[in-house]
Chain A
Amino acid sequence: MGGIGVGSSSGVLRTLLGSCIGIALYERRLKIVGLAHVVMPDSMGRTSSLGKYADTAIPETIRKMMTIAGVGGKRLDLSAKIAGGANMFAQTSGTGTVPIGEKNRIAVEEVLKKLNIPILARHVGGTTGRRMLIDIATCTVQIQVVGQSVIEI
């Protein structure tokens, strides 16, 4: 939770999600991939645990991707796919407030929009957890839900 992983050329990055949002960022041409696991929508100015918050995790993931890409200050041509944001315990969470998973999704989409990073696929909401994987070589993103077949988004 709240972690950031990056990789290049080959391998798989993966994470498990409930109400958190997984953000797969990738530069297909260079085969540079980042995967962030956002727990909360807003850092409120905090400077630690950058991977935990939507507004800090995405820039930090990009910074790490640029470091391994070795492109200096040159902008990467990034795309994003997102998953997660479930409201798993809807019956026990009460009503009247926006579920944390939905808040996370909205925050992530706003940050990506500000950074002009297109979201090419989403697998969000619902009431179940998800396993999210991104293959670095192909930049394909797979989602698995307990009891269901793996799907590609």
Chain B
Amino acid sequence: MIPLTTLQLEQLAKLFHQGAGEASRALSRWLERDVRVSVDSLDQAAFNEATESLGPSDATLCACVMSVNGRITGKLLFCFDDTSGLLLCDLLLGRGTQSTRWGELEESAAMETANIVGCSFLNAVSESMPDSETLEPNASGGSTRTCVPSPPQFVRDFAASIIEFAVMDQAESSDTILLARTKFQIDDTPVAWNLLLIPDGLILDSMSRVFG
């Protein structure tokens, strides 16, 4: 995989801004609050530095992980620490007090939210992408017109362990990892949620050609 140029990264960032806008609208409806999702950064990090992309490597992190097929292939992770993740659940479940532990209900609420954020983000990115005739599809059988995420899987583990697995598809073909990070605000207050898109090496090569 050839690293994307600055211009290509800027074009890609525009797509992701479209995705973040749609995710904002979807999440605002879902939580019945004013939620803003914005692209925080789009980086090509050295492979061995990627594990620090979500903070300290040995911090415990929660993630709802989705595999993405279609016009973009890769991994989409909705990540948060315990406190921020449980805050999301409390908002959804209308609880007045701060929850302190993950149960089946909390995990389900987080995954449902990940599904809504992920689908809205990917749909907007997909619709904004250049003509599919020029963007070669992946070999995994997904549609070339849409991005289809798998059902989310909830994991709670070391941050580095989660990132390591998520970047594995890029690691096969490159020593550089592309990471698109977002940040979230509820009613203008930042919350430590993070939507992380990690396209795989094959689709990055296609993007590189499309964006010239």
Q: How far is the CA of A147 from the CA of B51 in the complex (A)?
A: 20
> A59 near B: Cβ within 8 Å?
no
Inter-chain contacts of A17 with B (CB < 8 A): 161, 164
Contact code string B46-68 (vs A, CB < 8 Å = 1, else 0): 01101100000110100001110
The count of chain B contact residues (Cβ–Cβ below 8 Å) is 29
Q: Is the beta-carbon distance between B165 and A89 smaller than 8 angstroms?
A: yes
Q: Is the beta-carbon distance between A88 and B171 smaller than 8 angstroms?
A: no
Q: Given known contacts A16-B161, A40-B172, A48-B175, is B58 in contact with A92 (CB within 8 Å)?
A: no
Look across to chain B and name the residue whose beta carbon is closest to the beta carbon of A88: B165
The count of chain A contact residues (Cβ–Cβ below 8 Å) is 28
Q: Is the beta-carbon distance between B47 and A92 smaller than 8 angstroms?
A: no
Grouping DSSP codes into helix (H, G, I), strand (E, B) and loop, the A interface class, with mixed when no group exceeds half, is: loop
> A49 near B: Cβ within 8 Å?
yes
Q: Is the beta-carbon distance between A18 and B48 smaller than 8 angstroms?
A: no
Give 23 A-B contacts (CB < 8 Å), ordered by A residue: A1-B47, A1-B50, A1-B171, A2-B47, A16-B158, A17-B164, A18-B160, A18-B161, A39-B164, A39-B168, A40-B171, A49-B175, A52-B47, A52-B171, A86-B161, A88-B155, A88-B161, A89-B153, A92-B150, A129-B161, A131-B158, A146-B156, A147-B156
